[in-house]
Structure formats: C-alpha cells, structure tokens
Structure 1
Amino acid sequence: MAKISNAFTTYDAQANREEISDLIANIDPSATPFMSALGTKNVNNTTFDWQTESLPTVSATGELEGFEITREASTPTVRESNVCQINSINATVSGSQNAVDAVGKRSEMAHQLAIMSKALKRNMETALCQNQAKNAGNATTARATRSFEAWVSTNVSRGTGGSNGSASAAATDATNANRRALTEALLKGVLQSMFTNGAEPNLAIAGPVNKQVISGFTGRANTRATVDAGTISSSVSIYASDFGELQIIPSNRSRDRSLLLVDPEYAKVCFLRNFSTVDISTIGDAETKMLVAEYGLEVSNEAAHGIVADLTT
C-alpha cells in the first residue's frame, strides 16, 4: 500500500514527547521472613544479656508416711550474651538530579532511600538467620552478632563431621559437615527431640530447593491445606507433624543447606539503634543520606528451636 504523499509521520517529527511508564519494575528478593516473625526489644548497650533456666530432673518416686525432707539443690539460672552489630547503607544524589522531574519518582533521593531501606533489611535478615559467630569487635574489627544457626545445639540433626557452636563467651559458629538429602525422617527426628525437650515450634524456614523437597514428602496427603472452598494447595505450606503444625516458609536469605525450626516466642531482634536516617554533611553539589541500624539477636532459649543442617541443594 502506498504512503499518502507529503504525510508528516513520526519518523519526521523531532519534538514528540517520549512515552515512558511511571512504573519501575524491580523483582529482586526483599522479603525478610525470619526477622518479620520475631518480636523486638530495645537494649542499652552494645553487649546485652538474658537468662535461661531449667526444671529439676523428673521424679515419680513417692515419699514415706511421716517422711523427713531432703533439701533439694537449687537450680541456678544460666546467663547468655550477645552483641549488637551495625549495618548501614547510603545514597548520594547530585543537586541537579534531585531537582529534575524524574519519571516515576517523587524525588531521586526519596526513591534511592526506598531502595536502600529494603536492601538494609535484607542484609540484616541474612546476618540474623545465618551461621555467624559472635565477635565483640575492636578498633579494627566490626562487631558481629551471633546468628540463629550458631545458637541451636539441643535439637539438631547434622551430617557426618558436623558439630554445634560453642556455648562459651567467645561463642563460635556451628561446624559444617558432609551434606545429605533432606528426608521426612530427618525432620521428624528433630521435631521429636523438640517435643521431648518442651519446644513448640510453629515455623519452618527453608531455602527454595528444600522447600520443594518438603512439598514432595510421602506424607504430604495428610498435610494439604484448603486455601478456599473446593481448592487444595499444591505445595505444602502447612506441615501437620505428630507434635503440631508447622508453617513452611521459603527464604532467599537463609542458607539453603539448613532447615530452621523456630518458635518466634523465644527469639527477638534487639535494637540499640532502630532504623534511622542520618544526613551526611555535604562537601559539594550532592546530597548524601545514610540508613543505619544497630541490632543483635536474642535467642531466649535455644532449646525452643531446632535445625536440620548440612542438606544437599
């Protein structure tokens, strides 16, 4: 078909407005399932302590009529400790860029801070749920809070050669071991240990690979959850164990080699400094803002939690 003679087209135009969507697509993982499940508290020092205790040994032995008491030994509390670590992230925007009418943004700085806040929370999530040893720090070494995996030592299943982190003041991380496939028997074994020790977990955090493994457990027919009338979930989001239900949550920040079994009532994120924005002094025609948080992990009683470690991915 012939073109109409002398028709002015978009190919000839020099001043048509550009068409660009106000929506900005970003699908980078930013969920923080571990940190979001826990409560928070404020602390007043870079080192913070708490106490745990246990009941005396169970005895079913009766007493004689007219018995004389034997004074029982007192059960002392155990003092636990962790430190706060600092995480920060910053954004710098030139005065010119902050002044222009940027597409899809109220201002460039506001947009950058929104991105950076998600990134900071993601960094904190990683630090909290990994296998990181406590480090009190010094003038040349940053403090590191002891993270979740390094705490759990009572209800554990580890591969050959694996070991728990130390319980000393200079607590170390757990030792990685030979990997093995996640099986329902491994999960049931840790859940049985948890029940025996009085734990009542309701949350399991798994990497993407082992979340799919759990969805393929042979007992899955007994763990399907109705999501609406007449519809059955095709993946296991609720696992009905012999000792209670577990919500299975996939995570991009926890280690894929570890399945974390958590009772959120017995862990907290402790803030020395909660999330805050700090204006950094300008040295020219640009503005810098810093987001900072100083925080640590309190595992109120490590026996309330469990781990199936050293899993293939």
Structure 2
Amino acid sequence: MALATNTQTTYQTVGIREDLSNVVSRIDITEVAFQGNIGKSKATQRYHEWQTQALASANPANAALEGDITAATASTPRVRVGNRTQIFKKVGAVSDTARAVDIAGIDDELDEQKILKGLELRRDVEAALLQNAASVVGSDSTAPRMAGMESWLTSNVSRGTSGANGGFSGGTVAAPTDGTQRAFTQAQLDTVMQSVYSNGGKPTLLFLGPAQKTAFSAFTGIAVNRVNNDGNSQVTIVGGADVYLSNFGKLTVVPTIFSRARSALIIDPKMVKKATLRPMFTENLAKQGDATPFHVIEESTLEVVNEKAHGIIADLS
C-alpha cells in the first residue's frame, strides 16, 4: 500500500486542535464510612464533655430477711469524660488568570479547588477519628487535638506483647502503646467479642484495613466450604467475606483505608458520635495581588459515648 503523491495527511497538517476530554477522572477514596455510620452531636465548647453510667454487678446472693430493716446501698457514681475539639483546615489559592482561561472539564478553577479541598478535609477528619492520637489541650503555640477511637479503648482489647492501653484520665486521653505485631486470627476476634458482650456492648461493625480484610476473609468459621449456588453453570470462586456471625452478635465488615493497618476496630455505631463545634465551611480570604486565597475549616471531636461498647484487636501484622 502507498499514498498518492502529495496527499496531505495529519502528519503534516499544522493547527490540529488537541483532543482533551471534558471528563476529569478521580479515583481517590472519598467515602467516609465511620462518619457515615456513627451518630452526630453538637459541641458548644472546645472541651466537649459527657457522662457515662455503670450498674452494680449482678448479685445472685441478693436475699433479704423477712421483716428486714431497709438500708440504702452505695450507688455507682457517674463518670464525667471529655475530648478536645480539633480544627481541621485546608488552604488553597487560585490566580485570576487560572479562573479566566478555558480549562477542559472545569467551569471555575476556584470552585473546583474548593470542592477538592473539602473532600481532602473530610478524609483528614475520618482518619483522625479512627487513629490512636492522644488528646492535646492546646495553647497559643500548640494546636488542640482530639483523641482518636483507638486511644479510648481500654475494656475490650487484645494487644500484642508489650502493648498497653491509653484511655481517659484527669481530663485528657492518652495514646495506647503499640506492641509486638502478630497475625489476625478468628480466636482474637471471638475473645474480644465475648468481652464486649460481657460488658453489655452490642457492636455491629468491624472496621478493617485492606490487609486485615484479606486476612479476615481467610477465616474458616463453621462452614469450611463456601458454596455460591446462584444457578450458573460455571463455578464462582468466593474469595471474600463481609459478615461475621459470632457467638455474641453479627458484625458487618467495613473496609477502610483510613484506620491504622495494624488494628481491627469493633464498633457499636449507636455508642459513638462526631460532635461538631463548627460544621465544615469555605471562606474566601483577603485577596493577595492577582489571586484569590481561601480556606476550608471544620472544628469537631470524637464523642465515645461509652468505651465499653467497643473493642479493638491491635498490633496486627
């Protein structure tokens, strides 16, 4: 095959317009499953407080004499706990020229950047809620910080060798100490679920990072052979599991990239809330020359209604 003499082709043509799609593709995970499942409450101060209450242990030997003189028994006092609000901020700036030029798939670069910064901030909040950070009071030179979910958990825990609890004490929440990492096992999950049940908890969610979700799917349980009977002539390989029916309740597995890879969090979504002092908002700042700066801000904290309702299997490899 050959071209006719002097045939003009695109290889010689000057001025061909670029072919740039008007669709901008983004694959980053923006689903915030923890925030989406837990409750919401309102914070009115930088130190957000609430109270917990425990009942006295059951006494099977509770027997009174006939005609006994009634005397009051000691009551279990309420416990007052709290967490610090954390100011989350994302800052951006867009030049006036960037707003004026024609950009594929974008109407206004300033609006687009505000949306992107808002999505990034939501991810930051999600990660902070799930982490093992200690609470920080804050000062003129130190940013206040909330204690994450891992730091609160002290009652229903499974930790590696040398691992230690954090927990609330005297107005602050300490971070836990990481221990020696070990493989995630079904026995660990069963033990912590039994502990949660014994403390009155009714968790329904199990938050796992990708590696631990894969390990979880390898649990054999009672049914060693999983069968997918969907009527198809071809065999389907079932390589994952999304629900765990334990002796003490059913857990729905929630994969997440925002929790620590070394931890499995057992959560009762009714017993944890995000308390918001200032909901997320976007605000243009004073114009700087030929550009428009802005920030996106949220101020909130984690309210662990009662830490005995949850559990953790920590120090997983």
TM-score of Structure 1 vs Structure 2, range by shorter chain = over 0.9
RMSD: 2.0
Alpha-carbon distance in structure 1 between the residues aligned to 2:186 and 2:278: 41
Paired-residue identity, %: 38
Q: Which residue of 2 aligns with 1:47?
A: 47
Given the two structures, how large is their TM-score scaled by the length of structure 1?
0.94
1:273-293 residue CA offsets vs partner (Å, 9 max, x unmatched) = 100001111021111121100
State how 1:1-313 maps to structure 2 within 5 Å.
1-60=1-60, 61-168=62-169, 169-219=171-221, 221=223, 234-312=239-317
2-structure distance, mates of 1:221, 1:229: 20
Give the number of equivalent residue pairs. 312
Change (3 A) 1:97 1:300: same
Any stretches of 5+ residues in structure 1 without a counterpart? none
How far is 1:219 from its partner? 0.8
3-state secondary structure, aligned to 1:290: strand
SS of the residue 1:50 aligns to: strand
What is the CA distance between 1:72 and its match in structure 2? 1.1
Tell me by how many angstroms 1:105 deviates. Answer: 1.1
Structure 2 CA distance for partners of 1:180 and 1:48, relative to 1, 3 Å: same
Corresponding letter in the other structure for 2:186: E
What is the distance in 1 between the residues matched to 2:229 and 2:187? Answer: 27
Question: What amino acid maps onto 1:123 in structure 2?
Answer: D
| Ranges of 4+ aligned residues in structure 1 off by more than 6 Å | 222-232
> Which stretch shifts more, 255-264 or 88-97?
88-97
C-alpha displacement at 1:223, in angstroms?
11
Question: How far apart are residue 143 of structure 1 and its match?
Answer: 0.4
Where does structure 2 lack aligned partners over 5 or more consecutive residues?
none
Looking at structure 2, the residues matched to 118 and 221 of structure 1 have their Cα atoms a distance apart, in angstroms, of 41
Give the AA of the match of 1:38.
I
Aligned-pair distance for 1:28? 2.3
The 8 Å contact of residues 82 and 172 in structure 2, kept in 1 or not, is answered as no
Identify if the C-alpha distance between structure 1 residues 108 and 226 changes in structure 2 by more than 3 Å, giving closer, same or farther: farther
Distance 1:131 1:226, change over 3 A: farther
- Aligned to 2:244, the other structure's residue is in SS state strand
| Structure-2 separation of matches of 1:77 and 1:233 | 48
8 Å CA contact 2:83, 2:172 repeated in 1: no
Is the 1:225–1:237 contact (alpha carbons within 8 Å) kept by the matching residues of 2? no
Question: 1:24 & 1:294 partners in 2: Cα distance?
Answer: 30
Tell me the TM-score normalized by structure 2.
0.93
